[in-house]
Amino acid sequence: MTLILGVDAGGSRTTAAVAEAGGAILARGESGPGAVRPGAAAQAAGAIHAACRDALQRARREAPADVLVVGASGAGREAERGELAHALMSHGLARRIEVTTDAEIALLAAFGDGPGIVLIAGTGSVAWARLPDRTTARAGGLGPVLGDWGSAYDVAREALRAAARAVDDGRAHALLDRFLQHLGIAVDQLPRWSLGAGVPELVMLAPVVVEAARAGDETARRILERAAADLAATVTPLLHRFPTGTAVTLAWGGGLLAGAPDYRAAVLGKIIAMRPAIAVLEGPVDAVAGAVDLAARRLGGSAARRPGG
């Protein structure tokens, strides 16, 4: 029996799927961050292995699969893709391993071979497009230092800064109180906590901001409004790459857009205002299904069928 593995390796979560070539996905598994970072291929490979092992156990199948396709955040350069593929070889997951970008599997999942734009906002943010001439383009995706506008990291960072101003002023601040309660620390411990917090720790605070805005917190609402405008603007240069009058389809995904409907509606509303004729797909893009499809193609099979759940 031919067996394939597809993986979507992101900054907060890695998702793997097991499928028979050309058939339905049998099971999925998850693990922690599997994005490619400089000099950290072994850690990414470990997360990918854990997700694949989880999926294989759920499907009651055993490695090695015939082919494994990994679409990884941070794998834009051949050097990073090669390092990750090499690190994965020692795990014995598949006889054949291919590492590509998360852009390729997301575009394939959303549009097949057709044109369109995918906007992702989770830990970070990025937009990819496949243009009518079949070339691809990217906007954003520059990481937490240079970009990630409108991402969970961006939202949490700006909210923490607002809370820090309240600490300096010695004034009451509802959003600050929410953070302290969530973290289980006193106000004088917040600076120390922030010095030791990395991107994953900050990202966990974004849902706190979303909930505060939903409850009527004005500071949280303003932060999300600015973030929505910045995230929508990420798509602007890609829209300009499509000829005037060309129909454009937009897909979306990522933990923040999927988990915060009000925020997603604000972002999509701003994008539609730029180009009213744009068509937005329902439901988040299932990038791991794109990895499975690509693996099936590598075996010469048809695209894998995607289950409803």
CATH number at residue 91: 3.30.420.40
Lowest-confidence pick of 44-53, 109-118, 238-247, 256-265? 238-247
Lowest-confidence pick of 45-49, 156-160, 238-242, 276-280? 276-280
Rounded mean pLDDT, 240-261: 91
In a domain, 271, yes or no: no
* pTM of structure: 0.86
Pairwise CA distance, residues 258 & 273, whole Å: 21
In a domain, 22, yes or no: yes
**Hey, what's the torsion of the CAs at 211, 216, 222, 224, to 10 degrees?**
20
For residue 306, give Cα distances in angstroms to 17, 22, 26, 122, 204. 10, 10, 10, 22, 29
Written as one letter, the residue type at 239 is: L
Residue owning tokens 């601040």? 173
| Contacts for 211 with CB less than 8 Å, ≥ 6 apart | 178
In a domain, 50, yes or no: yes
Rounded mean pLDDT, 33-55: 92
In a domain, 305, yes or no: no
In a domain, 29, yes or no: yes
Q: What is the pLDDT of residue 166?
A: 78
Rounded mean pLDDT, 215-243: 95
Q: Which domain holds residue 24?
A: 3-109+286-298
Q: What is the pLDDT of residue 24?
A: 81
In a domain, 157, yes or no: no
Q: What is the pLDDT of residue 168?
A: 73
Tally of structural domains, the chain: 1
For residue 305, give Cα distances in angstroms to 215, 288, 297. 40, 12, 12
CB neighbourhood size of 290 (10 A):
30
In a domain, 16, yes or no: yes
In a domain, 202, yes or no: no
